[in-house]
A and B are shown apart, each in its own frame.
Chain A
């Protein structure tokens, strides 16, 4: 059974850097075809894809947020880390990590973690 769980601060101040960790079990990110994405959802709003890292270390970013995002992985720990710089109140959202493997659909999701940006 595949499980994913996001962790990180619930509250960050404007201009700070957010670091979120996705810890997963039941799969190995070293396996060919494994891809982990980060997606966020502001309260009451739509899903927004942020970034993805693949089993072979290829990484991809939302064009609108590329300058602020870094995604990395530690396959030995089954973790994927997302950093977002220069946080702003508009970045307040629930942040999800999700896994794709054989297919390109986001098949397994974490429960999400709410991050509030406020001074």
Chain B
């Protein structure tokens, strides 16, 4: 099974801050990595697919990158509406989600 280790588990930042979330895969998953945002009581929504491709309609302050088995999700300038929980998801072999990062505003 492929494990996805996501960190941090929670994060508090100020409006305008640069925020970074990381996921480490337990083995090479190439580019098979997506990022989701989930608001309380709602279904997740895909923000970035295949490491770095922005879903249509998603603001450009969101971005993703890869270095080997390490994946990074970045919000360049945090906005109040960005609060929620973020998940990485690999689909190289079946599907595995990271444990999530809860993001709130200071």
- Looking at the complex, which one of A49, A61, A109 makes contact with B97 (CB distance below 8 Å)? A49
Size of the B side of the interface (Cβ < 8 Å), in residues, is 23
**For residue B48, which residue of chain A has the nearest CB?**
A105
Q: Beyond A109-B43, A111-B43, is A47–B49 a contact (Cβ under 8 Å)?
A: no
Which single member of B1, B34, B94, B100 contacts A105 (CB below 8 Å)? B34
A47 with B87, Cβ < 8 A, contacts A60-B94, A111-B43 known: yes
Report the minimal beta-carbon distance from A65 to chain B, rounded to whole angstroms: 11
The residue that B91 contacts in the complex, of A104, A109, A110, with Cβ under 8 A, is A104
Q: Is B104 an interface residue (CB 8 A)?
A: no
- Between A37, A61, A109, A112, the greatest number of chain B beta carbons within 10 A of the residue's beta carbon is seen for A109
Q: Is B97 in contact with A46, judged by CB distance below 8 angstroms?
A: yes
B21-36 interface with A by 8 A CB criterion: 32, 34, 36
B89 to chain A, nearest CB (A): 7
Closest to A103 in B: B49
Chain B residues at the A interface, C-beta cutoff of 8 Å: 1, 32, 34, 36, 38, 42-46, 49-50, 55, 87, 89, 91, 94-100
